[in-house]
Amino acid sequence: MLDTAAGTKIQDVLSTLNRALANGNLDSALELFTEDCYWRDLVVFTWNITTVEGKAAIRNMLEARLHGVKPRDWTVDDNEPATHADGVTESFIEFDTAHAHGYGYIRLKDGLVWTLTTVMHDLKGFEEPMGYSRPFGAKHEEHQGEPTWAEERETELAELGVTFQPHTLIIGGGQGGIALGARLRQHGVPALIVEKNERPGDSWRNRYKSLCLHDPVWYDHMPYMKFPNTWPVFSPKDKLGDWLEMYAKVMELNFWGSTEAKRASFDDATQTGTVIVEREGQDVTLYPKQLVLATGMSAKPSVPTIAGQDVFAGLQQHSSEHAGPDGLENKKVAVIGSNNSAHDICAALAEHDVDVTMIQRSSTHISKSGSLMKHALGPLYSEQAVADGITTEKADLINASIPYALAADFQKPAFDAIREEDAKFYRQLEDAGFMLDFGPDDSGLFMKYLRRASGYYIDVGASQLIIDGKIKLESGSEVEKLTEDGVILEDGREVSADVVIYATGYGSMNGWAADLISQDVADKVGKVWGLGSHTPKDPGPWEGEQRNMWKPTQQDGLWFHGGNLAQSRYYSHFLALQLKARMEGVSTPVYGLQETHHLS
Amino acid sequence: MLDTAAGTKIQDVLSTLNRALANGNLDSALELFTEDCYWRDLVVFTWNITTVEGKAAIRNMLEARLHGVKPRDWTVDDNEPATHADGVTESFIEFDTAHAHGYGYIRLKDGLVWTLTTVMHDLKGFEEPMGYSRPFGAKHEEHQGEPTWAEERETELAELGVTFQPHTLIIGGGQGGIALGARLRQHGVPALIVEKNERPGDSWRNRYKSLCLHDPVWYDHMPYMKFPNTWPVFSPKDKLGDWLEMYAKVMELNFWGSTEAKRASFDDATQTGTVIVEREGQDVTLYPKQLVLATGMSAKPSVPTIAGQDVFAGLQQHSSEHAGPDGLENKKVAVIGSNNSAHDICAALAEHDVDVTMIQRSSTHISKSGSLMKHALGPLYSEQAVADGITTEKADLINASIPYALAADFQKPAFDAIREEDAKFYRQLEDAGFMLDFGPDDSGLFMKYLRRASGYYIDVGASQLIIDGKIKLESGSEVEKLTEDGVILEDGREVSADVVIYATGYGSMNGWAADLISQDVADKVGKVWGLGSHTPKDPGPWEGEQRNMWKPTQQDGLWFHGGNLAQSRYYSHFLALQLKARMEGVSTPVYGLQETHHLS
C-alpha cells in the first residue's frame, strides 16, 4: 500500500539518525532500532559485505567505522514512494559519506528500524562515465589527430598482459567474469579475463544440449545492457552464449579465450600476484595486483568415489561432461543424483527413448517453474513487475535488503502457497516413489540455493516424465558399488547400465585456489558459499552472508566472484568498487573480515 | 506546459470525430479540422506513407478508405499528459481499426484539428511476440524432445535461400537492412539480407578512419535494443560496426556476407522476383516475393565528369573509397566538395600534416555539433529528454507528427538561435572565404537533409581548421579541368595536387534498380528521396513525403529502405508491417500511390 505518511515517518527516523550519527551519539542512534535489528552493509560502511545483527553488533560496527565514513544527509528517496503494509513501513533511502554516495533500503517496525541496508552507489571522484557523463566518442577540437577508437582498442588488445599488466586478473569467462569485466572497464580498471574455452559463452554452449536457463529473463540481465523485450523467458543455452559473446565484444572486454590458468602465487611484500597462464599453447606470465576467481561455483565437478568404478565397462562421466542424448540410443543410462542437472539430463534422454534411470539418494526439493515465477520471483522479476515500475535495479536492492537471518521467514509463505497449489502434482511425484522436501525449515528453493547451492530441481517437465515412468526412478538408497554392467544400491537393488552419469554436483570454489595457488592458501581462505545455517551441507557457525563471495578473503588480493546471473550482475558492482578503490589508493579498512571455519 | 484541461479538450474533439467517422458523416468530421489542416498517415489508413493536406484531400482519403478501415475508439492516451502552449494543444492518441491497433499524435489550434498523425501500431492477429507475449525459450511439457534452439537455428541458416525461399530479400546489410531484418524476424517473415562486405558493420568499418557518427547516441538506437547508457555520444565508426555485427547475431538475422546481388527481375504473373546473387564466388538464384533495396542513399557514388581526368597523373578517388591519411604523408591533396565527408576527410588529413585544399563550389550550411544538439535535437533526443520521460518511441512519433509542409517553419527557430549564438564562429568562417548558407528558406540542416541529403556539414572541428588555414580553402568557383598535377578552377585559380578526392556525394537510389534490374524499372519508379520542395536539388511538384522511401513504389514488390539510423529505426516498423501484411494475405489497398516525376 502506498502511503504518504509512511514517507514522513521514515524521514523523521532518518533525520534523528542523521543528527545522532553526526554527533557521534551512538546511544541516541541505537534507540531508533528495534531489539531484533539488522544492518546489512554492502561496502559503503565496512568495505565488506556483512550484516551486523542486533544493537550490540551495530554499536561495534559504528564505533569502528563512524569516524571514517562520516555519513550524512539521510533522506527518503523522493522518487520512490514509501509503503506500509502488515506493520512494516519501508522505502528506498539516500545518504552521503565522506568518500561515497550511498543508497539503501529501510524497514521500520513499530516506528523503529528493523532492517537497514546500506550500499555504495559510487566512489566520489571516481563516478562511472555514463548517462550525462558518458564518453564523447568523436575526437573533436583539441583531441583531433589522436588515435581513433579502433586504433586505441587494437593497441590495448596487443599490449595488455604483454607490455602493460592488468590491475585485476579474472580467471573464468562465464557470466561472472564477464559481468565483473564490464564493471571494471567502466571504472577504468585495466582488467583481463582468461577463459579456458575459446569464446565468451562457451561455458554455456558446451553443456548438455537441452539446457535452458531455469531462471527467467527478468532475473538474468547483465549489467548496463538489458536483454531486449523480444528475448525468450528462459534462454536456451546457446542463445545465452551468443549474448555473452556479443556483450563481451561491445562492452570492450579484454578476453583471452583458449587460455588456462596454471599456477599462481602472491608476493605479500610487493602485493603483486604472479600468474602463469597457457594462452593458445604458449606460457604467459602475468603480474596482477588483484586476482579474482570467477570460475563458477558450479564448475569444479565433484565425483564420489564408489567401489567398482574401475571395473565398470561402460562410459562414466560427470554431468558437466555430458553433451546430450546423441549417440546414446539403445544404451541403458543410470544417472546418479536428483537435482537440476540430473533431471534435465534424464528428461532429454527419455525424450529420445533412451532407457534412463535416476538414482535418488536423498530427498529433493521440486518447484514447478511456473509456480516459482508466480509466487517467488514474480513480485520482483517479471513483466508485470517491470510494468509496475520495479526496475531490475530496484528489485535487486529490495532483494538484497532482506537479511539472510530473516530470509527463510520471507521465503516460506511463497513456498507454502506453491505446496498448496501444486498439491496434486506433489502427491503424484511421491506416488512415483520420489522423495520430496521443502528444505529443513520448509523455506523452499532459494534458501537451499543460498545455503548449499544444491538439493533442488526447478521443474520444467522432467517430473511429469518421472510420474509417467518414462524416467525410471530408484530412490531412497545410497550407491554401494558399480559392477561391470550396472550399479548396485546399498539396499541390494540393481540398475543395469551401459553409461553412468554422475550428476553429483560441485565442490567449494576454494578447491580452485588449491589447484592454482596452494592448499595452504585454499585452507587459509576456507569454504566458499553458504551462510552457516546449521542445515545440511551448510555447517555453522552462523556467518549471515555468503562465505568468501564478492568480498575480502583471508588472502589479500584473492577474491571469489560468481553465482547465478542475478548475483553476478548485482554483486559485481560491489566487487568492482572494492577493486577500483584499491587501485586508486582509497583507504579501504575492512570491518568484520570473516574467519575461516571450514576447509571445504 | 502540462494541462489537464488540454486532455479533456482533445478528448471532446476525438469523441466527436469518433461519432462522425462511425456514421460516415464526413461533413461533420471535416468541421473539426482547421482550414490549413494536415493528416499524415503511416500505413494504418492508407497502406502508404502519405500526408493529405487540406479538407478536400482529407475528404478524398476518407471517402476511399473509411469503409475499409472502420476506425473507432479514438481516445487521448491517458498515460501521456496532453500539453498546451503557444495556442497549440497536443497529445498522443489511441484508436482502433478493423485490422489494426492505431496510435498517433494530434495538434489542435483554436480547438480544431491542425495536424493529425495516424500510425499502425500492429496488425490484429499478428502482434509481435514481445514483452508479455515473448517466446518461452525452454521447451517444456509437450514440446520436449523437439530440436533445440541451436539446432533449429542451424537448420534455418543451412536451408534459407537453398531449400526454402525468403519471402523478403533485403539487398544491403547496413543499419537499414539490419533494422528491417530485425523487424521482419520479429514478425515471422522469412527474410534474407545480402551484403557485399564480409560482416555486418563493415559498411561503416570500411570508411575513412576518423569517421564518427554526426548524430548523437539518443537519436541512433536500433529497434528493440538500445545502446547502453555507457555508449559514447558520437559512435566511432568501428564501434558502431561492432554493435551492428553483434546486433545481427543476437537478433538472429539471416545475413549473407560477401554476397553481391548481380541481376534481378520481376515476374508480374507469379508476383515473384528472381535475383541472382554471387555468394562467396558462387552464383545462387533466389526467388523472393518482395525485394527491398537497402543499399543506402549514400552508397551510389556520384563522380562528376571533368575534363582532364584522364591526364591527371595522381590518384583519384571518390570519398567512399578514401580510407584516411595513412600513406598520404608528403602528398598534396585536393578535395572537391564541401559537405560532411569533405570536411571530415580534410580535417583528418590536416591533422596528419598533409597539405590539403578543399574546393568549395557552392555554399554550404554549417552547424556546430554542440549547437545542433542543444537547439535542434536536444528537446527530443538527449539525456535530458530521456530523464524527462521522452522515450525514443515518443520522440520518434512527435518527430514524425510534423507534416513536411510545416517542417521548415518548425525548424527555423532552432537555426535562428544557432545563427545568433554562433555568430562569431560564422563570421570567422566567412572571413576565411567560406561560403555559408542556412538553406534556401533559412530552415537549416535537417530540411537540407530531407530535401536533398546534401549541402551541409555538422561541425566537429574541421571548420576551425579552415578558419586557422590548416585546411586550405578555394571557394566560389566550379572546377574547369584537371591537369597532370592539379586542378584548374573556372576562374583560373590552380590547385596543385598529387591526389584528388571527389567528395561529390551520391546518386538517387533508383540507380541501384537500374544496375540490378533494368533502366525501365528504374525509370518507372523514378527518383528516390526528396519532398518536391522546389528548392535546389529537390525539384517539384510537391510530394509532401520522401519519394519512394519505405512505401509502395510503381513497381510491385520493389521497395526502398534506408536513411540515417533514426529513420532506419522508425520507418522499418512501417515497412515491416507492409511486408508482413502482404505475406499473410491481408488486403492492402494503397491510397495515394505516388506518381513518377523525375528519373533520377
Query: Following DSSP, what letter does each residue of B539-566 receive, concatenated?
Result: -SS--SS-TTBSS--SSTTEEE---SHH
Strand, coil or helix: A48: coil
Using CB atoms, pick whichever of B149, B212, B245 lies closest to residue A238.
B149
Nearest to B415 by CA among B451, B452, B382, B374: B374
Nearest to B354 by CA among B328, B334, B335: B328
* pLDDT on residue B297: 65
User: Contact at 8 Å (CB) between A38 and A116?
Assistant: yes
pLDDT values of chain B reduced to their tens digit, one per residue, 600 residues: 456 689 999 999 999 999 999 999 999 999 999 999 999 999 999 999 999 999 999 999 999 999 999 999 999 999 998 999 999 999 999 999 999 999 999 999 999 999 999 999 999 999 999 999 999 988 766 666 789 999 999 999 999 999 999 999 999 999 999 999 999 999 999 999 999 999 999 999 998 888 899 899 999 999 999 999 999 999 999 999 999 999 999 999 999 999 999 999 999 889 999 999 999 899 999 999 999 999 886 667 899 999 999 999 999 999 989 988 999 999 999 999 999 999 999 999 998 899 999 999 999 999 999 999 999 999 999 999 999 999 999 999 999 999 999 999 999 999 999 999 999 999 999 999 999 999 999 999 999 999 999 999 999 889 999 999 999 999 999 999 999 999 999 999 999 999 999 999 988 889 999 999 999 999 999 999 999 999 999 999 999 999 999 999 999 999 999 999 999 999 999 999 999 999 999 999 999 999 999 998
What's this model's pTM, rounded to 2 decimal places? 0.94
End-to-end CA distance of chain B: 45
- Cβ count within 10 A of residue B16: 15
By 3-state DSSP, what share of chain A in percent is helix, strand and coil, each rounded to 5? 35, 25, 40
Predicted complex ipTM: 0.93
Q: What are the strands of the beta sheet with A479-483, ordered from one edge?
A: A479-483, A486-489, A494-496
- Chain B touched by A470 (CB under 8 Å): no
* pLDDT on residue A532: 97
User: Contact at 8 Å (CB) between B448 and B338?
Assistant: no
User: Contact at 8 Å (CB) between B100 and B120?
Assistant: yes
Using CB atoms, pick whichever of B144, B148, B249 lies closest to residue A242.
B249
Q: Which residues pair with B577 in a beta bridge?
A: none
Grade residue A296 by pLDDT with cuts at 50, 70 and 90.
Answer: confident
Nearest to A395 by CA among A417, A369, A412, A376: A376
Chain B residues closer than 8 Å to A128 by CB:
230
Between CA B5 and CA A199 the distance in angstroms is 58
Report, as an integer, the average pLDDT of A277-304: 91
- Cβ neighbours of residue A519 under 8 Å, at least 6 residues apart? none
* pLDDT on residue A208: 82
Chain B residues closer than 8 Å to A217 by CB:
134, 137
Residue A145 vs residue A293, higher pLDDT:
A293
Q: Give how far B149 is from chain A: nearest CA, Å.
A: 6
Report, as an integer, the average pLDDT of A343-357: 93
Between CA A335 and CA B90 the distance in angstroms is 66
User: Contact at 8 Å (CB) between A274 and A287?
Assistant: yes
Question: Which of A122, A134, A463 has the most B C-beta neighbours within 10 Å, making it the best mutation to test the interface with B?
Answer: A134
Q: What is the DSSP letter of B338?
A: -
- Cβ count within 10 A of residue A541: 10
User: Contact at 8 Å (CB) between B383 and A136?
Assistant: no
Q: Give how far B233 is from chain A: nearest CA, Å.
A: 5
Backbone angles phi, psi at B193, to 5 degrees: -105, 130
* pLDDT on residue B558: 97
Strand, coil or helix: A491: coil
User: Contact at 8 Å (CB) between B446 and B457?
Assistant: no
- Chain A touched by B477 (CB under 8 Å): no
Q: What is the DSSP letter of A281?
A: T
Are the Cβ atoms of B212 and A137 closer than 8 angstroms? yes
Grade residue A207 by pLDDT with cuts at 50, 70 and 90.
Answer: confident
User: Contact at 8 Å (CB) between B91 and B106?
Assistant: yes
* Residue in A with minimal Cα distance to B218: A131
Q: Out of A208-212, A244-248, A351-355, pick the least confident.
A: A208-212
User: Contact at 8 Å (CB) between B580 and B123?
Assistant: yes
A374: cell is: 508466480
- Stretch 174-203 of chain A: residues touching chain B, C-beta under 8 Å: 186
Are the Cβ atoms of B134 and A233 closer than 8 angstroms? yes
Q: What are the strands of the beta sheet with B486-489, ordered from one edge?
A: B479-483, B486-489, B494-496
- Chain A touched by B129 (CB under 8 Å): yes
- Chain B touched by A218 (CB under 8 Å): no
Q: Cell numbers 584516411 label which residue? A: B324
- Cβ count within 10 A of residue B358: 30
Between CA A312 and CA A317 the distance in angstroms is 12
Per-residue pLDDT tens digits for A473-508? 999 999 999 999 999 999 999 999 999 999 999 888
Q: Which residues pair with A307 in a beta bridge?
A: A481
Are the Cβ atoms of A150 and B238 closer than 8 angstroms? yes
A408: cell is: 527463510
Are the Cβ atoms of A137 and B243 closer than 8 angstroms? no
* pLDDT on residue A2: 52
Q: Give how far A536 is from chain B: nearest CA, Å.
A: 31
User: Contact at 8 Å (CB) between A343 and A322?
Assistant: no
Backbone angle region of B410, left / alpha / beta, with phi > 0 → left and psi within -120 to 50 → alpha = alpha
* pLDDT on residue B3: 61
Q: Give how far B203 is from chain A: nearest CA, Å.
A: 15
Radius of gyration from C-alpha coordinates of chain B: 25
- Cβ count within 10 A of residue A237: 21
Q: Which burial class, exposed, middle or buried, applies to A462 when counting CB atoms under 10 A from its CB (0-12, 13-18, 19+)?
A: buried
Radius of gyration from C-alpha coordinates of chain A: 25
Per-residue pLDDT tens digits for A518-564? 999 999 999 999 999 999 999 999 999 999 999 999 999 999 999 99
Backbone angles phi, psi at A308, to 5 degrees: 90, 0
